[in-house]
Amino acid sequence: MKLFNHTTTGILILSALMIVVTCGCQRQERTSQPEKTKPTEKKPAAAITKPAKEMAEPRPNIEKPGAVRQPVVKKDKPESVTPLSPSTILVKVNDATITQGDVDKEMANMQTMMTNRGMPSGQINSMLSELQPQIIEGLITQILLKKECEDKKIKVSDEEAKKEIDKIIANLPEKLSLNDILKQSGLTKEMFEKDVKEQLKLEKLLDVSEPTDKELKAYYDENKAQYFEIPETVLARHILIATKETDDKAAKDAKKEKAGNLRKQLTDGADFEKLAEENSDCPSKRMGGKLPPFGRGQMVAEFEDAAFSMKDNEISPVVETKFGFHVIEKLKHNKPKTLTYNEVKDRIAAIIKGKALQEKISSYIQDLKKKAKVTYVHGTPPNAGMMFPQGMPSAAPSEKPKSK
């Protein structure tokens, strides 16, 4: 069994994911955005969000440990390089080996995750071409951490993993399921359950303990105004029929008519999720059109005005924005509120533990690598000082967690 078998670097990726999930999907509006496209294509770059920072392209939650040259077979003509066979050994780590087949498997997993996140194929291919060096370094780390866990007899039972998963589910935002979160992250349920176990192993290995009540309360008091005073938000789902800058009047009229026909089907009782999955041009179609909770100022004006003016469970008329034609269903209007300490203490515990893990992991891995015998059979090691993950994601609480 390999640790973190579907990640690139394998370091703290699940930690960051679990913090975000447990905190209620921090800044979720970025995880449901449509795929980034070339300006000339004018596909919806953010479905309904404003340009600027709201349109920032969501990137997979991976660390970048630094530049590592890819394994290559030297030829006179680089463009005709012959791919290495799966059995080719790339790196030896003590008595273990990393083959091209191991790397290919990780690359396939990464491709699946990116595809599940709604990233366009062109961008996926571009990113994958740069990921192999990171994957190799991640596999080295996996081998070393696995050996450490075996030597120290660190295990996580199914009961421990289930308890952790139940805690995560209990702290999800209202009307968002674990399945929604997994779709946003590109993970399967099996991947997530396996990663929960490996995350708990890391916590045991690095002796990351549960924070005290005093620490939890101090964090709440220090961050109450910034993170736990929740503004007015709307929970909605939509179907987008995207338009292009090159569309003439006839093309736009046809798309508006399609949106109108879909609206009629919905008002006649059709299944919203099914129609969204089959027709929407927004990646939120993977979740039946459901968007993360959003406040004022986060969406383009036409969409925001419609969503905030509707009644709960109401279907909107066709709404036109610069991205196309939308049919919106408002699921719930959330009034502003201040979350109590008891409502968020479990999430705060996850944040504090995540930070503690981040602080310990880099130096721990550094020490493991210094002691290990690592031989690069194909390719060369990374530059000194650039072998380890930098710039872990910040652990900020949600702006819309679920009240208990």
The 10s digit of each residue's pLDDT in 301-328 is 999 999 999 999 999 999 999 999 999 9
What span, in angstroms and rounded, lies between the C-alpha atoms of 361 and 12? 8
**391 within some domain:** no
* pLDDT at 403 (0 to 100): 42
Instruction: Name residues whose C-beta falls within 8 Å of residue 135's C-beta, 6 or more positions apart in sequence.
Output: 8, 9, 103, 106, 107, 110
Statement to judge: residues 39 and 169 lie in one domain:
yes
CATH of the domain at 275: 3.10.50.40
**255 within some domain:** yes
* pLDDT at 119 (0 to 100): 76
- Number of structural domains found in the chain: 2
| Backbone phi, psi, residue 319, to 5° | -110, 125
Statement to judge: residues 213 and 289 lie in one domain:
no
Let me know: does 67 contact 383? Beta carbons within 8 Å.
yes
* pLDDT at 26 (0 to 100): 34
What's the whole-model pTM score?
0.59
Statement to judge: residues 82 and 153 lie in one domain:
yes
**pLDDT digits 0-9 by tens, 108-129:** 888 888 877 777 788 888 888 7
Statement to judge: residues 164 and 88 lie in one domain:
yes
Let me know: does 402 contact 172? Beta carbons within 8 Å.
yes
Let me know: does 73 contact 86? Beta carbons within 8 Å.
no
Statement to judge: residues 91 and 207 lie in one domain:
yes
What span, in angstroms and rounded, lies between the C-alpha atoms of 241 and 392? 36
* pLDDT at 311 (0 to 100): 95
Host domain of residue 169: 13-222+339-376
* pLDDT at 70 (0 to 100): 45
**296 within some domain:** yes
Statement to judge: residues 52 and 179 lie in one domain:
yes
- Token duo for residue 61: 């939650």
Statement to judge: residues 80 and 104 lie in one domain:
yes
| Backbone phi, psi, residue 206, to 5° | -100, 5
Let me know: does 379 contact 70? Beta carbons within 8 Å.
yes
**383 within some domain:** no
Q: Give the residues across from 329 on adjacent strands.
A: 237, 315
67-to-61, 132, 164 alpha-carbon distances in Å:
18, 10, 35
Strand order of the β-sheet with 233-242 is 294-295, 233-242, 324-334, 319-321
Statement to judge: residues 303 and 217 lie in one domain:
no
**209 within some domain:** yes
Statement to judge: residues 115 and 218 lie in one domain:
yes
Positive or negative, the Cα torsion across 227, 230, 236, 238? negative
**pLDDT per residue of the chain (404 residues) written in tens, 0 to 9:** 233 333 333 334 344 444 333 333 333 333 334 333 344 443 333 334 443 333 333 333 333 333 334 444 444 444 556 788 889 999 999 999 999 999 888 888 888 888 777 777 888 888 887 788 888 898 999 999 999 999 999 999 999 999 999 988 887 776 678 887 787 777 888 888 888 998 899 999 999 999 999 999 999 999 998 889 989 999 999 999 999 999 999 999 999 999 999 999 999 999 999 999 999 999 899 889 999 889 999 999 999 999 999 999 999 999 999 999 999 999 999 999 999 999 899 889 989 998 999 889 989 999 999 999 999 888 666 543 333 333 333 333 333 444 44
* pLDDT at 13 (0 to 100): 38
CA 72 to chain centre: 31
**175 within some domain:** yes
**288 within some domain:** yes
* Closest to 351 in 3D by CA, of 19, 61, 27, 26: 19
Tally of CB atoms within 10 A around 269 = 6
Statement to judge: residues 178 and 302 lie in one domain:
no
- Token duo for residue 135: 């994957």
Let me know: does 23 contact 395? Beta carbons within 8 Å.
yes
- Token duo for residue 173: 């935002």
CATH of the domain at 49: 1.10.4030
Q: What is the 3-state secondary structure (H, E, C) of the chain?
A: CCCCCCCCCCCCHHHHHHHHHHCCCCCHHHCCCCCCCCCCCCCCCCCCECCHHHHCCCCCCCCCCCCCCCCCCCCCCHHHCCCCCCCCEEEEECCEEEEHHHHHHHHHHHHHHHHHCCCCHHHHHHHHHHHHHHHHHHHHHHHHHHHHHHHCCCCCCHHHHHHHHHHHHHCCCCCCCHHHHHHHHCCCHHHHHHHHHHHHHHHHHCCCCCCCHHHHHHHHHHHHHHHHEECCEEEEEEEEEECCCCCCHHHHHHHHHHHHHHHHHHHCCCCHHHHHHHHCCCHHHHHCCECCCEECCCECHHHHHHHHHCCCCCECCCEEECCEEEEEEEEEEECCEECCHHHHHHHHHHHHHHHHHHHHHHHHHHHHHHHCCEEECCCCCCCCCCCCCCCCCCCCCCCCCCCC
Statement to judge: residues 186 and 39 lie in one domain:
yes
Strands 229-230 and 233-242: unpaired
**404 within some domain:** no
Strands 229-230 and 337-338: antiparallel
